[in-house]
Amino acid sequence: MASLYSWYKYARMWGIQKKLIKKQRKTVGLIATCPNEYLHVDTTFYPLIDGKKICISFVMDNYSKMILGFHVASSNTFEIVRRSLGNALKVIATHPGQKHSYLVADGGKENHNQYIEAFIKKLSKHKITKIRALKDIRFSNSPVEAVHRTIKGRYLRNRKFESIKALRSYLKWAVEDYNVARPHYKHRPRTPHEVYFGIPLDFDIRKRVKQAIKARVKNNKCSKCVQCTGCSVKQLITAPRLKKKA
């Protein structure tokens, strides 16, 4: 068997070169320039404690990543999409400015049927143009799918519900926490609610970070040791060590 040096030697002699493999660039998805420009709707499923799968439909805003409306039902029909759109339109009505939105949906039959088309045509205050992901546009419906992963992974994971009512009640709190309480990584440190309604921060983020660091260091110095009976970390450091018996 030839050595590694011999392999490189003959490779240079014969002009053999390693092909450069370029890494694939991450594709940039659909990016809105203002709230309500692009909306996304999609339906996911979550099982109850008895194994029955419940449908959850979300409508979100592409720009702010805010969940505008949702609905929970036992079957995946046009009604769940219509209800979630209706709840979203109530929030959109409180946001001035944009009077037209593009609704991005996948090819599911719950999104494309005569009832949804009739519902959209009847809208007068806020017009909606429905477009199909990966067909009418080259972009996917990944923004709302990311919301599904967040809700399932952060809020619904390892939780069991006995009824649709219990799941709906918990989702109401989860959506409120997602929209208002937790800053979104795309708008750090602002929440989707603050970005959607254009609410400015009422504090200096740099000062807040410095205060948090000082408070964390102070809290760590005052923390108790788990293995001892309650002595502080400072006492453990200054306490004399016992010599091991030979």
CATH no. for residue 87? Answer: 3.30.420.10
DSSP 93-109: TTS-S--EEEEEE-S-T
Looking at the domain assignment, is residue 129 inside a domain?
yes
Looking at the domain assignment, is residue 229 inside a domain?
no
- Residue 206 is predicted with a pLDDT of 85
Distance CA 166, CA 48 (A): 10
Number of structural domains the chain divides into: 1
Domain that holds residue 166: 38-197
Query: In terms of residues, how long is the chain?
Result: 246
Looking at the domain assignment, is residue 217 inside a domain?
no
- Residue 61 is predicted with a pLDDT of 97
Looking at the domain assignment, is residue 33 inside a domain?
no
Looking at the domain assignment, is residue 30 inside a domain?
no
Would you write out the chain's pLDDT as a tens digit for each of its 246 residues? 678 888 888 888 888 877 777 777 767 789 999 999 999 999 999 999 999 999 999 999 999 999 999 999 999 999 999 999 999 999 999 987 789 999 999 999 999 999 999 999 999 999 999 999 999 998 999 999 999 999 999 999 999 999 999 999 999 999 999 999 988 988 888 999 999 999 988 878 888 788 888 988 888 888 665 555 555 545 544 545 555 454
Looking at the domain assignment, is residue 50 inside a domain?
yes
Looking at the domain assignment, is residue 242 inside a domain?
no
Is the pTM for the entire model greater than 0.85? no
Distance, C-alpha 67 to centroid of its chain:
10
